[in-house]
Amino acid sequence: MTKNPLRIYLPYCLEKVESGRFILLNRDYKPVGSSAKGLPVHEARPIALEIEGLTPEIAVSMSVTGDPDCDRIYLFSDGSAPWLGHKELLAYERRLARLLELAALRSVPHDRARTGWFRTLSWTSLPLSRC
C-alpha cells in the first residue's frame, strides 16, 4: 500500500524542543518531508522555528482539539486531515496561517511589526483558500 505523500510533507504537529524553538513534524512524527525509518544524518538536527509570544490562548487557536498545551500543538487529526475534503483543508489552512504569522513575526523588525506593516500580508489571499 502506498502512503499518502501529504502525510510526509504537511505539518501535523508543532513540537517544542527548547525555549522558544519548535520543529514541525509530519503525520509519522518525523520532521516534515521525511519518510525514512530511523533518522538520517540531516534529520539529527531538523530545522527549528523560533516562535515568540506563544501562549496557551494562541495554542488553543492553532490546535485542532483546542488544547492549550504549548509543548505539542496538533494541526489536524485523523478525522480532520486536510486531504479529506474542502472544509478540512480550509480549517487546516487557518491553523497553519496562524503558525506562519507567529514564525514570520520573529523575522520582521519590531518597528515594522508594531506599525502594522506585516499585517498587510494576507495568507487567506493565497489561491489555496479558494480550492
Best CA proximity match to 105, nearest among 47, 68, 54: 54
Q: DSSP letter for 25, please.
A: E
Report the distance separating Cα 87 and Cα 80, nearest Å.
9
Q: What is the pTM (predicted TM-score) of this model?
A: 0.73
Tell me if residue 114 falls in helix, strand or coil: helix
Report the distance separating Cα 120 and Cα 131, nearest Å.
23
Distances (CA, A) of 55 to 7, 27, 51, 60, 115: 27, 24, 10, 9, 22
Report the distance separating Cα 108 and Cα 90, nearest Å.
26
Q: DSSP letter for 125, please.
A: G
Residue 34 near residue 5, CB atoms below 8 Å? no
Q: pLDDT truncated to tens, each residue of the chain (131 aa)?
A: 567 889 989 999 999 987 778 999 999 888 888 877 665 544 556 778 888 788 999 999 999 999 999 999 999 999 999 999 999 999 999 999 988 888 776 554 445 444 444 444 433 433 333 33
